[in-house]
Amino acid sequence: MSRVLTILVAMFTIVFLMAGGMASAYLVGGLVEEHWFTGASRLTNVLFLVLIFVMVIATLLTMAERKWSAFIQDRMGPNRARIALPGLKNRSLGGLPHILTDVLKMLTKEDLIPAAANRFMFNLGPILAFAPTFALFAVVPAGPSVQVFGRNVDMVVATPDFGALYVLAIASLAVYGTALAGWASNNKFGLLGGVRATSQMIAYEVALGLSLVGIFLTFSSVQFPAIIGDIGNALTGGTGQGRYLWRTDGAFDLGLPAWGIFIQPLGFLLFFAASFAETKRAPFDLPEGESEIIGYFVEYSGMKFGLFMISEFVEVVVLAGVTTAFFFGGYHLPFGNEWLANLPIMQEHGWLLGTILGTVFWLKVLFLIWVQLLIRWTFPRFRYDQIQSLGWKILLPLGLANVFVTGALVLWDPSLRALAVLGIAEIGILVVLTTTTKVPAGGAHGAHVGHGHDHGHAHAHGGHGAHDLPAHAHGVAPASTH
Amino acid sequence: MSDNDTKKPTGDAQPPPKGAPTDTPAAKIGSEPSNPPAGAKLDNPPAAASGPTGTPPPKPPSGPPPKPAPKNPGFITATIDGKEVVVKPGTNMIEAAKAVGSDIPYYCYHPRLSIAANCRICLIEASNAPKMVPACQTPMAEGQVVKTTTPKVKEQQRAVMEFLLLNHPVDCSICDQAGECKLQDYYMKYDYRPSRLEGTKALKNKRKVLGPRVVIDQERCIMCTRCVRVMNEVAKEPQLGVFGRGSHERIDVFPGSELNSNYSLNTVDVCPVGALLSRDFRFKARAWFLSATPSVCTGCSRGCTTYVDWMSQDSYRYRPRENEAINKSWMCDEGRLTYKYLNLGRVLQAQVGRRANRAGEAVPVTTRKEAAQAAAKALRSVQGSKQLAVLASPLASNEDLLAGLNFAKSTLGVSTVYVGGRPSGAADHFLMTADKNPNRKGLELIAKGLGLKLETFDALTTALKAGTVKALYAIGTEVPGNVDAFAEAAAQLDVFVAQAFTESAITAQATVLLPASVPVEDEGSFVQQDGIIQRFRKAYPPKGDVVPGWEWVRELTSELGGESTWKRAVDVWRELAGKVAEFAEFNWEKASPADREKPGINPLPAGADGRPAGYREFGTPRVRGI
Amino acid sequence: MAYKVSKDPRTDIRERTYVPNLLRGLGITAKHFFRNLFGTRDTNTQVVDRTGASLMTTVAYPEEKPIYPEGYRGLHRLVPREDGKPRCVACYMCATICPAQCIYIEAGEYEDEASDSEDRVIEKYPTQFVIDELRCIVCGLCVDACPKDAIRMDTYMHTPPEYTRQNFVYDIPKLLKGAPVSHPSDPWNKREGSEEPHHVHKEAHTRIGEGLVELKLPHGEHGGHGKALPAGAQAGHQAVVTQQGPIQVTKFIK
Ligand code: SF4
Ligand code: SF4
Ligand code: SF4
Ligand code: SF4
Ligand code: FES
């Protein structure tokens, strides 16, 4: 029981810390807006969002990855580094001191540069890999725009018109670092890793872009603030993902929010898979492939290797942020959004609303990070040809189909409800498929329903595909009975 | 402690010298046949006899048999375990059975001692006796049929073993005899049952010091009286006796006296169990760790044939090796303990410059090559000069002397050689001689063969005093005179190149000191006082930087521009022995049993390099007191 | 990839569409994650006996130590006598049998006049007894070989780590530990010194039955004196008739 309490306390501490972080971000933003110049809050946002939130989370992730993977694998995880402070009773503190020791190790290790390597390029590699991942987060809003001290504070670094295109553009820049590192090391394995990274990047870049087109169509924008949308109030309904497709009447709003996951579940799957491939993490970690080629960073040591390492974790955070913004309603609550925003105290103290919603955003990010790590420790690495055929033969056609279906449905029903029905149906099929197992008779029905899903969304309402292959499905059932 | 009475004759059969003792056991047991077949020895009946014959001899008829006509006139023909055996009259059953490969166990019997027949383990069934007869005591009779493996015999052997072990402490774990103990061997072979004794065992003295070199554990004694007989008949100094009766019977010295004969350690050899033990060897090594190599005792000019028992790079003891011509199965105590110089006080490092002049300073490491070059340089300056003298030690082997003296004559150009060696000591009534050098005869023969004149050591001292000798090349640094006086004289020398194996005041004065090997570290040969040439074998590689003397000569020869390609001692012999007429008939290669002949006692199987366990961590094993 | 695999007739829609089975896999890992995150770890050192929500099988080594099973061959010890000296008599049996050649012994002799009566009875003892635990292959042959019950591996402890190789070379002070052991057959239980006892003539030590000790037989229950056992009740036994009646003696078959 004490273990449960400890964990809960730790979780609440994290939530509390994040809330504190957001509160200070808003308050400092308001102060600088007031005292310096309009737009100064964007600068402090760089500090708070990118340098504090992303960086701290990424740093902690180095530890969390090890600890969580240990839990997944029934191990205890790192716990030997201890701090000999009297109050700590020599406890392992969940392995946190290991971060410190890691840093010490990385910083004190010898920095080797192979004699045959191109020194300039070799040094440039990690920087090129690291910088773009940071820059990515610049366009992701972590909280609503609110009034603080009478000034408008946006919880975002930049809101360019090309919003999501910036993400796509910068994300593909990161591959330069990888390819460069592999090439500049003058090492066969490094080069192989770099080449793998490049071709993988090209294969998935297309699917990545296509998977987002559905979202762009749905919300008619490529800008993050527009996609996330505003919270509605008494006068106007919400926009973007802040609106409800169906909602109850009354002060407390309850309904189906127009989140990307509901109206674009296929788009979400495609995007998540493609962006996973972009981050080069398992099961798409071919460029690293520790067991075959050590990867593009084989010649790197010390903090340069650390840069690759940390940029990978930063990518995880950024990917979680972008996914949240596109598919999980950004900083919106799933319900009670408008009610909360319209409370008088919230109206009065805008930063309070910002803090709450910002914390919600970061919680969603944390959840997605956890999901990513879960995936990374569940699935084995793909074979290289599988990677390519997954990208070109599955994700790309599915993405195209998604674009057409979404376009058609948006044209047919601009209220997005038709899209939502399709999305809910898709999710339902997935849930049914996942929760049922192969049973000779009963399970077969679910299987048929799912088959329609597999064949694409022309058969929008899954059940129609059922008579495609009945003999087939019945024929196989006995063989696989458990 | 050795079991050398069971040894097969070694390859050292030499023509017996004129004055060699002739009281062979055969003389005691029976008369010599008038025409013994060539090569027949006591335990070596004619070859035809040992082969199994297709037709077993007819069973002797019951009743008092008529004396059958001998099948082989002059010999006894009988049957042992179904095999026909032809032996000289008077041969006892044990030896006869040995000839056809039947092993009759025995404790009290020793081929070179009188027969006591008191242990009773050799009882066997013979066709002409109503009861079992002791094989050690009974000579073979014509037409006799002897059976050594019948159930009756086996039961008798088992019963004897049980009685012998009844009061035996069986503390093999602290018994030095363990591993070469006949009680152990026969228990495994003939008994192998648990004791049925229910009472307590008789307690006797476990550790009684009998004399300066021997200690007895009376509990372990099986009362075979071999030790008493050895002292009476071989050493002819009756110092041991049997005291008490029954369970309290024990071996002891007579009251007020002690076992101080110079042959007391032979009792340890003959004792079949761990009752009599050498105080020198006590607890130093387990017998099964030791390897035995045929060697020759260097204690005196008798040159007793020995085994040297060694482990790692240390010698642990000498044991007499059977040699009819020289020492039979015996050795004197004094010679037996001379093995110590093989281990301790050795010159292990080559050295250039007098060590006496730099006492306390760190000795610079000199390689063999540097030393040889320095020696050659020093000798070149006095080559052919009248001021150069050569000192040869009669402790060196024939090969070292052949090489060294030939070098002295042809390269250094000397015509006289001074003779060094250990000073003379006491002789005794049996084996030990007054001349304590093993190879004086060899030195004389070689000098004669090479045409060198031998001068006494006193002549050298005189010459040194007179100052006519300014340079000295010494093969061995033992001197018969006062060591310190000679060292003082040697300090005046301009050049003093010495091959030495033992540190002394003299080696400290050497301008170039060349560490030479001792007999166990290389092979070679000695000529004992009666002119018998004996090989000794190499037991282990030389310690430290030591190389054999002839190898130093080879180095010096090539440094001085000569040519020499000896690889082994035998090469020296082949090249130079022809100059010595007396060496002509000696077959060097065949002259001694192969290395490491010691059945049952071999280096550890796991450590085929012969190292004791745990050796690596401790460097050279530190053996107490050697 | 999907095309090829999905043609396998044994697969069904869940496998062919991948995602459901991937999700199920995620479910399994998530279940482990949460059980281990919230569950209290049972610190029972025998992993198989662990209960509780946490599935961790780790034994957190320095704090928790697994209990070694019965008969575990652990670190050697030299068994002390009652007076604290080693039982070992430097017989070299262990050094002889040791396949790793890691035992180094030097034997010494107790002085005849040693004050301690036990020492006077023993005569021989190890002045050096060294085991190189790094070379040891923990085969236990030395324990089997020892005729004096002087070396045992019953410490239930493995060789602890050290910083230098030399520290693994255990000498007598490091090896001599544990409970002392004494047997009725030990010489110091039988006599006072190594010399002949004075009362020897009065003691009819060879009279049958005197000083009878319990016979240690393979089948312990048959060992009692005076118990009339049917002769030859068991194969391989023969009855030895003593004053106390027949006693079963194991027959050694050669
Ligand atoms: S004499 Fe032989 S049997 Fe007796 S204790 Fe010694 S080795 Fe063992
Ligand atoms: S001491 Fe040895 S040789 Fe002498 S009687 Fe006893 S057992 Fe025989
Ligand atoms: S356990 Fe085996 S290897 Fe280790 S000391 Fe004993 S005999 Fe040698
Ligand atoms: S076997 Fe036993 S008594 Fe013998 S040396 Fe080894 S530990 Fe000592
Ligand atoms: S050997 Fe014949 S009685 Fe001893």
Tokens coding B117: 């027949």
Average pLDDT of the residues in B45-66: 47
Distance CA B557, CA B540 (A): 26
Looking at residue C8, its pLDDT comes to: 66
Looking at residue A157, its pLDDT comes to: 85
Residue C146 lies in a domain: yes
Pocket mutation for ligand 2, best pick of B119, B216, B226, B231 (most atoms within 8 Å of C-beta): B226
Residue B240 lies in a domain: yes
- Which residues contact residue A44 at a Cβ distance below 8 angstroms, ignoring those fewer than 6 apart? A25, A28, A29, A32
Distance CA B350, CA B353 (A): 10
More confident residue, B259 or A294: B259
Residue B27 lies in a domain: no
Distance CA B185, CA B183 (A): 5
Q: Is A475 on the interface with C (CB under 8 A)?
A: yes
Nearest Cα to Cα of residue C215 among C226, C203, C204? C226
Distance from CA of C91 to the nearest CA of B (A): 5
Same domain, B395 and B370: yes
Looking at residue B49, its pLDDT comes to: 41
B600: which DSSP letter?
T
Distance CA A153, CA A417 (A): 33
For chain C, how many structural domains are there in total? 3
Suggest the residue from A1, A2, A3 to mutate for an interface test with chain C (most C CBs closer than 10 A).
Answer: A3
Residue C180 lies in a domain: no
Q: How many residues does chain C have?
A: 254
Predicted confidence pLDDT, tens digits, chain C (254 residues):
444 545 667 777 777 778 888 888 899 999 999 998 888 888 887 888 888 888 888 888 888 888 888 889 999 999 998 888 899 999 999 988 888 878 888 899 887 666 666 677 888 999 989 888 888 999 999 999 999 999 999 988 889 999 988 888 888 999 999 999 988 888 888 777 777 776 544 444 444 444 444 444 444 344 334 334 344 444 444 444 444 444 444 444 33
Same domain, C149 and C209: no
Distances (CA, A) of C149 to B155, B585, C79, C89, C159: 33, 59, 7, 10, 21
3-class SS of residue C222 = helix
Same domain, B545 and B573: yes
Whether residue B605 has pLDDT greater than 70: no
Instruction: Specify the CATH number for the domain of residue B88.
Output: 3.10.20.740
Looking at residue B64, its pLDDT comes to: 56
**Cα–chain-centroid distance for residue B314?**
16
Distance CA A158, CA A42 (A): 7
Q: Indicate left, alpha or beta for A395 from its phi (over 0: left) and psi (-120 to 50: alpha).
A: alpha
Distance CA A323, CA A271 (A): 8
Average pLDDT of the residues in B552-566: 92
Looking at residue C209, its pLDDT comes to: 43
Looking at residue B296, its pLDDT comes to: 94
Tokens coding A311: 């940029």
Instruction: Specify the CATH number for the domain of residue B522.
Output: 3.40.50.740
Maximum CA extent, chain A: 75
Residue B569 lies in a domain: yes
Nearest Cα to Cα of residue B574 among B403, B438, B392? B403
Same domain, B72 and B109: yes
Residue B120 lies in a domain: yes
How many helices (H) does chain C have, and how many strands (E)?
A: 7, 7
Looking at residue A200, its pLDDT comes to: 87
Segment B171-180, tens digit of pLDDT: 999 999 998 8
Distance CA A476, CA A412 (A): 40
- Which residues contact residue B331 at a Cβ distance below 8 angstroms, ignoring those fewer than 6 apart? B263, B265, B266, B297, B304, B306, B318, B319, B320, B431
Residues of chain C contacting residue A448, judged by C-beta atoms under 8 Å apart: 13
Which protein residue's CA is at the shortest distance from atom 6 of ligand 4?
A: C94
Whether residue B370 has pLDDT greater than 80: yes
Whether residue B10 has pLDDT greater than 60: no
Average pLDDT of the residues in B224-251: 93
Q: How far is the CA of C88 from the centre of ligand 4 (A)?
A: 5
Distance CA C107, CA C129 (A): 9
Residue C2 lies in a domain: no
Nearest by CB to residue B613, choosing from C102, C121, C127, is C102
Looking at residue B32, its pLDDT comes to: 37
Distance from CA of B393 to the nearest CA of C (A): 37
Distance CA C104, CA C128 (A): 7
For chain B, how many structural domains are there in total? 3
Whether residue B31 has pLDDT greater than 50: no
**Domain map of chain A by residue range?**
112-412
| Structural domain for B395, as ranges | 351-583
Which residues is B512 bridged to in the sheet?
B352, B497
Q: Is A433 on the interface with C (CB under 8 A)?
A: yes
Looking at residue B46, its pLDDT comes to: 42
Looking at residue B600, its pLDDT comes to: 32
- Taking the CA of B229 as reference, the closest ligand is 2
| Average of per-residue pLDDT values in chain B | 84
Average pLDDT of the residues in B410-433: 93
Provide the 10 A C-beta neighbour count for residue B485: 14
- Report CA torsion sign: B595, B597, B601, B605: positive
Nearest Cα to Cα of residue A297 among A283, A311, A278, A284? A311
Provide the 10 A C-beta neighbour count for residue C234: 13
Same domain, B410 and B440: yes
Cβ pair A211, A327 in contact under 8 A: no
Indicate the residue among B141, B164, B187 that finishes a domain.
B164
Looking at residue A439, its pLDDT comes to: 60
Instruction: Specify the CATH number for the domain of residue C95.
Output: 3.30.70.3270
Nearest by CB to residue B199, choosing from C124, C201, C205, is C205
More confident residue, C211 or B141: B141
Whether residue B45 has pLDDT greater than 80: no
Residue C188 lies in a domain: no
Distance CA B182, CA A264 (A): 97
Residue C73 CA, closest ligand 3 atom number: 1
Residue B18 lies in a domain: no
Same domain, B79 and B121: yes
Start-to-end C-alpha separation, chain C: 72
Which protein residue's CA is at the shortest distance from atom 5 of ligand 1?
A: B172
| Structural domain for C102, as ranges | 77-175
Looking at residue B54, its pLDDT comes to: 43
CB pair distance less than 8 Å for B614 and C132: yes
Looking at residue B7, its pLDDT comes to: 41
Same domain, C81 and C137: yes
Residue C196 lies in a domain: no
3-class SS of residue B325 = coil
Cβ pair A443, A474 in contact under 8 A: no
Same domain, B186 and B69: no
Provide the pLDDT confidence category of residue B8 given band limits of 50, 70 and 90.
very low
Looking at residue A349, its pLDDT comes to: 81
Looking at residue B63, its pLDDT comes to: 56
Looking at residue C113, its pLDDT comes to: 67
Provide the pLDDT confidence category of residue B301 given band limits of 50, 70 and 90.
very high
Q: Indicate left, alpha or beta for A138 from its phi (over 0: left) and psi (-120 to 50: alpha).
A: alpha
Residues of C with CB under 8 A from a CB of A: 1-3, 9-14, 16-17, 19-30, 32-33, 36-41, 54-58, 60
Task: Please work out whether the CB of residue B106 comes within 6 Å of at least one atom of ligand 5.
Answer: yes
Residue B134 lies in a domain: yes
Distances (CA, A) of B24 to B29, B235, B325: 9, 15, 10
Nearest Cα to Cα of residue B361 among B369, B371, B351? B351
Provide the 10 A C-beta neighbour count for residue C182: 16
Whether residue B223 has pLDDT greater than 80: yes
Provide the 10 A C-beta neighbour count for residue A173: 15
CB pair distance less than 8 Å for C13 and A73: no
Residue C228 lies in a domain: no
Distance CA B27, CA B41 (A): 12
Distance CA A306, CA A312 (A): 10
Q: Is C208 on the interface with B (CB under 8 A)?
A: yes
Looking at residue A83, its pLDDT comes to: 82
Looking at residue B608, its pLDDT comes to: 35
Distance CA B145, CA B77 (A): 10
Same domain, C133 and C98: yes
Whether residue B222 has pLDDT greater than 90: yes
Average pLDDT of the residues in B49-58: 44
Extended strands (E) in A108-172: 143-148, 151-155
Residue B4 lies in a domain: no
Looking at residue C114, its pLDDT comes to: 61
Predicted confidence pLDDT, tens digits, chain A (482 residues):
688 898 899 999 999 999 999 898 888 888 888 888 877 888 888 888 888 888 889 989 988 999 999 999 988 888 888 888 877 777 778 888 888 888 898 889 888 888 888 888 888 888 888 888 888 888 888 888 888 877 888 888 888 888 888 888 888 888 888 888 888 888 888 888 888 888 888 888 888 889 889 889 888 888 888 888 888 776 777 777 888 888 777 777 788 888 888 888 899 999 998 888 888 887 888 888 778 888 788 888 888 888 888 888 888 998 899 999 999 988 888 888 888 888 888 888 888 888 898 999 999 999 999 999 999 999 888 888 888 888 888 899 999 999 999 999 988 888 888 888 888 998 998 888 888 877 654 444 444 444 434 443 433 343 333 333 333 333 333 333 34
Same domain, C85 and C29: no
